Structure 1
Amino acid sequence: MSLFALPVMARTVCTITLNSEHEKKIFTSRYKKEGVEFKELTDFKSSNDDKNWFDKACASGVKCDSLIISGHFGGTFFGEDTNLTLPLQTMERKACSKTCEGILSQPKEVYLFGCNTLADKAKDRRTPEQYREVLLNDGISEAYVDRIVAARYSPVGESFKSTMQKVFSGVPQIYGFDSIGPSGKTVSSFLKKYLDQIPNYSKRLDQLEAEKVMNQITKASDISSSYSDPWNSAMKGTAYAACSGAVDEQRKECILFDDKASKYEKMLTVESLLNSPDRKDHFLVVEEYLNGIDMKNLSADEKDVLSRIKSNTMAANELKAITPKLNSVLETKFPLVDLAGKVGWMSPDEVSKELEDTMKVAMKGKGLTNTKVQAFCSIRNPPDMSKFNAPAAWYQDSNFLTVVGCWQGTAGKTSLPTTVVSQLSRQLDSSDPDTAVEALGMVKSSVATDPALQKKVANLLYSNQISISASAMSVLGNVRNPSKEVVDVVAQGLNSSNPDVQKRSAFTIRNMGIQDPDLKRRALQIAPQMQPW
């Protein structure tokens, strides 16, 4: 038997369908009659919120001859009707650890249906704003559009094309798009035209496998253009792209996530990556690794490495020159700011100033969108709010209050600075119910020791907005031994002609532990279900 006369075997096409099913259905209708088996890898999920579905797929031992991924893409594959995602970062870690070779290395070809899946660092012909508009017109929801635009225009990190080549190392052919990809419905006609040129898919996979074997022998990566030409021809009119997987070789950054490597080896790797001319490509992976270790618990040798990293002025200056330009890609900016603070390239005051400046930009125009809130909440080393220079107007925005709450939680702080509590107290009277509710939730830890604040919250028991009155009840449940003035405000609801207000007052008296016999008796008459008290 010659080297290329491989035995005939049933072929398995794996699919990961996170958005459109059009692509999978077209492949299935064409080739299932050949005996090609199609396996949907998202079926390994235990629920629609299963974050470990891809781990399970990898551990299953499935071996894919071809892989088809369909979904929106912005550094993560995702869909609009599912909570399942497939982050490129997850795929990178699996490729590094070689714990998913049946899905990532076994295929002879990979199809990546999504925007920018094979985008390089070449400047897109559109501005971010124009690109965003095209995506919105294509029917992609605003929440996802911001993520896609941010990923495409980020100046740091490796290109998606380069990363995909490393993830799918040794795979002869990878197909995708280097800008906006066609939607599932739109791509159908292009895809049918493409598959018309491949009458026998099993035979094609046999040929690609022979090419793969030869590449492994010669350590080459590129193969004949005869495989990509049909794709390029059929997809003309779209942002089509094609390439081969990289030659399988040890990637330096993989050491950072190798359980067998020591922390000292990993710190040396960090130093090496930050000393390299392409350090900008490695900022994000370095930040990810350093976030997972306790910088206060380093050995003497590891501290020496950290000291040298801190003194790397070339890397520090390059990072600090980039960050102010990233206000349109906050998902990239904030990890860089975290990295700068972690290794000492920025002082805590400098980090706080950078975040203040970023917030000023974010609050303009449409203000803090949900996407921006998520980005601000992702900051791993949030600023000290007692030193954060936030204008009073910011506290009128419920989304800003959400961010402040996130930062307090991340920092592990249960109490707020008095300046912040003062600003929040003003927002309890906000005409925006969302702002008032957010402020109520945030003063919960401060109300127990502040009689004036207690009285203000007590008055909100009688708000016409159910969300506000319910939040006030919850906050007052933290108060013990309230002043007579506060008790009088809470108890006045017992005299209301509105049964709901009466019950609200009665339950609050119980929740605050008020022991006045007369009030207890009246409260129990209104809400006997509170027995035993």
Structure 2
Amino acid sequence: MIRPPRFLSLLCLASACLLPQLATAAKQTVCTITINSADEQKAFRKFLPADKYDFVELVERNRPDWLGSACEAKVSCDMLVISGHYGEGNEFFSDVMEIRESLSIGELERVSCSGSCPNLFANLKEVYLFGCDTLNPNAQRTASAEIVRSLVREGRSPAEAVRLAREMHAARGESSRDRMRLVFKDVPVIYGFSSAAPLGPVAASSLNQFFQSGGASQVGKGHVSGGLLRQFSAQGLASARGMTAGDSLAGMRKDVCMFADDRLSEAQRLQALHELMQRPTAQARLLLDRVERYTAGLDKAKRQQPEVAQALARIAADGSAKDRYLAFARDADEPRTRARMVNVAHALGWLSPEQRVDELALLFKDLLARKAIAPTEVDLACAVNKDRSLDKALQPVAAGGRREDDVGHSAVRACLGGDDAHDRTLEGLVSTDDADVRIAQVYLRHRPIADASELRTVTRAIAAMNGSEAQTRALDVLARHYLSDREIVSTLQQLFARTRSSSVQNAIAGVLIRADADAIATTDLLRTLRENRLKSSSGGNMVEALIQRLQLSSARRPDASLAELRNRSR
């Protein structure tokens, strides 16, 4: 059939009108989140043609809600490039002090799980994660022995318990790779590093080589690029696929989204939490971080909401879930885990305030029965009794049982309110045993010395120490205290003059530079620093910084002798 000329002209006109729209539709949006180095972003911009790719930087400097801003603008990403250091805190961050922006996996989970930002990641084809361990397959959380014992208590055979614990860790150990797969649900290709990632300039160099060899034709297609993996093979680049509805980890994603989905009401979230607690306790244990954060955020105002109060009452009345949970908590291998679970039990109404204290007392009684105490356990004891409100309740624990006299046991007893253990703990600060010094460091972070006389005594003891390494460590602890006592300054000045260790001199300067300005602003101290500083400690260190501070102070003071000394030393 021959169409009339007028029809053909209209068809051609329509086609011509559609061409710009088709061209626009064909363009892909490359979203970049530049937390640290911009090197990787620049490599993508350089080689991906502007007629095919639009670039959108999501980070807005000095705006804390920059990701929310991108959601409000209805940005839709086809590709996502994230550049930043990635660490144990599960967040991307920068090592540049001027850059304050960061990106936590928790925030990415909120965006992924919620309906508040439906466009941002909905059309993603590829994600590039330029950060260390972003696709590390190793589980971040392990509690194998605890889980096996809990499953046996709940009626499983030992062999079955071991098998189930292994499966549970595989499904709920939350490796970095699993967390990224959870966040970027249904994304065909996620690139990241299974261990240490290359620095920005090195990564950019590899990207440049990849693109120069025709790599641009391999990106944005939603297929794994063998060329890109080969280019970064020495750095351990890996690929993964986002979770799908039929994924073996889909159940884990549902539980995670229970905490992250901002569409859920508090009552709905508590109902989901109750259902979690009714399952084997091991599942709640592997989600303890999230359970802990959520229950800690249930403030008085939220708890007074009728639906929330009813949901909490239902959890509090669930005696079966409570008994399983507390049995698991009391059997936890790590005291810190046990304490955290006790606090969650209190938040859920399973323990009254008095019962919580009783549980903590049992915890520390068991801890003090151990042969050795680690610094982390001292940190726990001091943190639990941070405001000393539990002194009265925990002093019997500190005073009872077998009384080991080592620094570790003494520090725990001192944290629990045992005043007689304080002096023994301070002795660890001037010990030649590194473990004792580290324990004293932890203790004094929580309980800094407030008494001026005691601080003088400790300073004299540090000054009398033999061995520069131990003395340096002890001085580093002293630097956490704000000094205004001239006698202490004099003791440190004398030590500076006689020591033959540049590290000790540097540590002394570190103490004094944080001290009260009036206490250190003397011509005698400046003279001592200039005449006795060791050659290896000069230039670009704490001693030099202290000297510069004293010189600046002298310029602002009408102290002719100090100014004269400064001029003579030039």
Q: What is aligned with 1:39?
A: 56
Distance (Å, rounded) in 2 between the aligned partners of 1:172 and 1:334: 41
Q: What is aligned with 1:179?
A: 195
Query: Is the aligned partner of 1:232 residue 2:250?
Result: no
Q: 1:476-503, CA deviations, whole angstroms, 9 ceiling, x for partnerless residues?
A: xxxxxxxxxxxxxxxxxxxx999xxxxx
Preserved contact between residue 383 and residue 446 of structure 2 (Cα < 8 Å): no
Preserved contact between residue 338 and residue 380 of structure 1 (Cα < 8 Å): no
Unaligned runs of 5+ in 1: 125-152, 209-225, 327-331, 406-419, 442-455, 474-495, 499-525, 527-533
**Highest relative contact order (Cα 8 Å, sep 6+), 1 or 2?**
1
Question: RMSD of the alignment, in Å?
Answer: 5.0
Query: Is the aligned partner of 1:243 residue 2:271?
Result: no
Q: What is aligned with 1:509?
A: none
Preserved contact between residue 352 and residue 383 of structure 1 (Cα < 8 Å): no
Equivalent in 280, 288, 309 of residue 283 of structure 1:
288
Tell me the CA shift for residue 61 of structure 1: 2.5
Q: What is aligned with 2:92?
A: 77
Preserved contact between residue 140 and residue 176 of structure 2 (Cα < 8 Å): no
Tell me the CA shift for residue 164 of structure 1: 1.4
Preserved contact between residue 63 and residue 103 of structure 1 (Cα < 8 Å): yes
Equivalent in 245, 254, 257 of residue 254 of structure 1:
257
Tell me the CA shift for residue 228 of structure 1: 4.6
Q: What is aligned with 1:416?
A: none
Aligned residues: 384
Q: 1:85-110, CA deviations, whole angstroms, 9 ceiling, x for partnerless residues?
A: 11111111222223334433332110
Distance (Å, rounded) in 2 between the aligned partners of 1:23 and 1:309: 54
Preserved contact between residue 94 and residue 100 of structure 1 (Cα < 8 Å): yes
Tell me the CA shift for residue 314 of structure 1: 3.9
Task: Classify 1:108/1:398 alpha carbon distance in 2 versus 1 (closer, same or farther; 3 Å).
Answer: same
Query: Is the aligned partner of 1:110 residue 2:127?
Result: yes
Secondary structure at the aligned position of 1:103 is classed as: coil
Preserved contact between residue 78 and residue 125 of structure 2 (Cα < 8 Å): yes
Tell me the CA shift for residue 111 of structure 1: 0.6
Tell me the CA shift for residue 157 of structure 1: 5.3
More deviation, 282-291/303-312: 303-312
Q: What is aligned with 1:430?
A: 458
Secondary structure at the aligned position of 2:292 is classed as: helix
TM-score scaled to structure 2, two decimals? 0.54
Query: Is the aligned partner of 1:29 residue 2:25?
Result: no
Equivalent in 259, 262, 266 of residue 263 of structure 1:
266
Preserved contact between residue 15 and residue 24 of structure 1 (Cα < 8 Å): yes
Pair member with larger Rg:
2
Secondary structure at the aligned position of 1:104 is classed as: coil
Q: 1:189-224, CA deviations, whole angstroms, 9 ceiling, x for partnerless residues?
A: 5434544565445x853x43xxxxxxxxxxxxxxxx
Equivalent in 35, 58, 67 of residue 80 of structure 2:
67
Tell me the CA shift for residue 235 of structure 1: 2.9
Preserved contact between residue 169 and residue 245 of structure 1 (Cα < 8 Å): yes
Q: 1:58-89, CA deviations, whole angstroms, 9 ceiling, x for partnerless residues?
A: 33332222111111112111121132211111
Q: What is aligned with 1:10?
A: 27
Distance (Å, rounded) in 1 between the aligned partners of 2:102 and 2:138: 24
Tell me the CA shift for residue 23 of structure 1: 1.7
Equivalent in 346, 360, 365 of residue 348 of structure 1:
360
Preserved contact between residue 428 and residue 439 of structure 1 (Cα < 8 Å): no
Residue 67 of structure 1 aligns to which amino acid in structure 2?
A: L
Tell me the CA shift for residue 112 of structure 1: 0.8
Preserved contact between residue 351 and residue 383 of structure 1 (Cα < 8 Å): no
TM-score scaled to structure 1, two decimals? 0.57
Preserved contact between residue 26 and residue 52 of structure 2 (Cα < 8 Å): no
Task: Classify 1:31/1:440 alpha carbon distance in 2 versus 1 (closer, same or farther; 3 Å).
Answer: closer
Equivalent in 89, 94, 104 of residue 87 of structure 1:
104
Tell me the CA shift for residue 244 of structure 1: 1.6
Q: What is aligned with 1:158?
A: 174
Distance (Å, rounded) in 2 between the aligned partners of 1:358 and 1:6: 73
Distance (Å, rounded) in 2 between the aligned partners of 1:247 and 1:161: 14
Distance (Å, rounded) in 1 between the aligned partners of 2:514 and 2:173: 44
More deviation, 271-280/381-390: 381-390
Secondary structure at the aligned position of 1:299 is classed as: helix
Task: Classify 1:427/1:51 alpha carbon distance in 2 versus 1 (closer, same or farther; 3 Å).
Answer: farther
Q: 1:21-45, CA deviations, whole angstroms, 9 ceiling, x for partnerless residues?
A: 3322221221145552222222x12
Task: Classify 1:257/1:40 alpha carbon distance in 2 versus 1 (closer, same or farther; 3 Å).
Answer: closer
Preserved contact between residue 11 and residue 65 of structure 1 (Cα < 8 Å): yes
Secondary structure at the aligned position of 1:83 is classed as: coil
Distance (Å, rounded) in 2 between the aligned partners of 1:27 and 1:80: 22
Q: What is aligned with 2:444?
A: 401
Tell me the CA shift for residue 470 of structure 1: 3.6
Tell me the CA shift for residue 286 of structure 1: 1.1
Unaligned runs of 5+ in 2: 1-14, 16-21, 142-168, 395-411, 415-420, 430-439, 460-473, 494-510, 525-557, 559-570
Preserved contact between residue 65 and residue 107 of structure 1 (Cα < 8 Å): yes
Residue 243 of structure 2 aligns to which amino acid in structure 1?
A: A
Equivalent in 408, 413, 429 of residue 389 of structure 1:
413
Residue 54 of structure 1 aligns to which amino acid in structure 2?
A: L
More deviation, 463-472/74-83: 463-472
Preserved contact between residue 433 and residue 468 of structure 1 (Cα < 8 Å): no
Distance (Å, rounded) in 2 between the aligned partners of 1:272 and 1:425: 57
Distance (Å, rounded) in 1 between the aligned partners of 2:208 and 2:27: 23
More deviation, 101-110/112-121: 101-110
Residue 71 of structure 1 aligns to which amino acid in structure 2?
A: G
Secondary structure at the aligned position of 2:116 is classed as: coil
Tell me the CA shift for residue 466 of structure 1: 6.7
Q: What is aligned with 1:19?
A: 36
Tell me the CA shift for residue 161 of structure 1: 1.9
Distance (Å, rounded) in 1 between the aligned partners of 2:382 and 2:173: 21
Task: Classify 1:109/1:305 alpha carbon distance in 2 versus 1 (closer, same or farther; 3 Å).
Answer: same
Q: 1:310-337, CA deviations, whole angstroms, 9 ceiling, x for partnerless residues?
A: 84444444455555188xxxxx898556
Task: Classify 1:63/1:284 alpha carbon distance in 2 versus 1 (closer, same or farther; 3 Å).
Answer: same
Secondary structure at the aligned position of 1:12 is classed as: strand
Distance (Å, rounded) in 2 between the aligned partners of 1:274 and 1:66: 38
Secondary structure at the aligned position of 1:24 is classed as: helix
Preserved contact between residue 127 and residue 190 of structure 2 (Cα < 8 Å): yes
